[in-house]
């Protein structure tokens, strides 16, 4: 993780040179390097973005926009429904998660029909399943209309969560650069 840089210089008290000396030059170089890194990271999320294969465990209306317990309870509830469906011979829907600068999109793996689409600002919480390393979920929606989406990934859930985290940081960095 990078070091935060304040507008005054390197970000560390006592190191700021008011006349544009060593520390000011160092912080400008560091800022330029960060912007280049930001552009490279943003490139991954352009157009269709990063894709992850997964299965949709289920979707649940939730009472709040955030909370680890809320997400774990909802995950267990949806896994229970999925287990009951499995005993009836039904399978989880195969989906593709697209992470792009425009947001998160979940589409059917076979038909490519979009099942869910959300701008990043509407995603309020992301939680990994404490009992399954390949499962995670996220809460999104407007005030009073929050929904929890439970997902089982083809690889470790940490991979998708890390990409989501990186996407949030890239979008935030791009917004800060515009200001």
d(CA 163, CA 99): 8
Bridge partners, 147 (sequence order) = 61, 140
Count up the domains in the chain and report the number.
2
Residue for token pair 């909370």? 67
| pLDDT per residue of the chain (179 residues) written in tens, 0 to 9 | 333 333 333 344 444 444 555 445 555 555 545 556 788 888 889 888 999 999 999 999 999 999 999 999 999 999 999 999 999 999 999 999 999 999 999 999 999 999 999 999 999 999 999 999 999 999 999 888 999 999 999 999 999 999 999 999 999 988 887 76
Residues 12, 77, single domain; the answer is no
Residue 36 domain boundaries:
1-44
Residues 26, 90, single domain; the answer is no
Report the CATH number that the domain containing residue 158 is assigned in CATH. Answer: 2.30.29.30
- Global pTM value: 0.77
Residues 3, 61, single domain; the answer is no
DSSP 8-state assignment for residue 104: E
Q: Is the dihedral of CA 114, 171, 135, 58 positive or negative?
A: negative
């Amino acid at each position: 993780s990078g070091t935060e840089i304040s507008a005054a210089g390197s970000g560390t008290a006592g190191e700021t040179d008011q006349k544009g000396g060593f520390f000011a030059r160092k912080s400008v170089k560091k800022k330029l390097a960060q912007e280049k890194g930001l552009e490279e990271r943003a490139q991954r999320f352009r157009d269709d973005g990063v894709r992850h294969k997964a299965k949709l465990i289920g979707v649940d209306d939730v009472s709040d926009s955030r909370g680890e317990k809320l997400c774990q309870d909802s995950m267990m509830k949806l896994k229970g429904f999925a287990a009951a469906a499995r005993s009836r011979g039904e399978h989880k829907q195969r989906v593709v998660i697209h992470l792009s600068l425009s947001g998160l999109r979940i589409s059917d793996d076979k038909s490519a029909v979009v099942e869910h689409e959300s701008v990043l600002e509407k995603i309020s919480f992301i939680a990994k399943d404490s009992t399954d390393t390949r499962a995670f979920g996220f809460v999104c929606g407007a005030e009073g209309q929050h929904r929890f989406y439970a997902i089982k990934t083809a690889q470790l859930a940490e991979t998708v969560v890390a990409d989501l985290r990186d996407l949030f940081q890239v979008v935030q960095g791009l917004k800060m650069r515009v200001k």
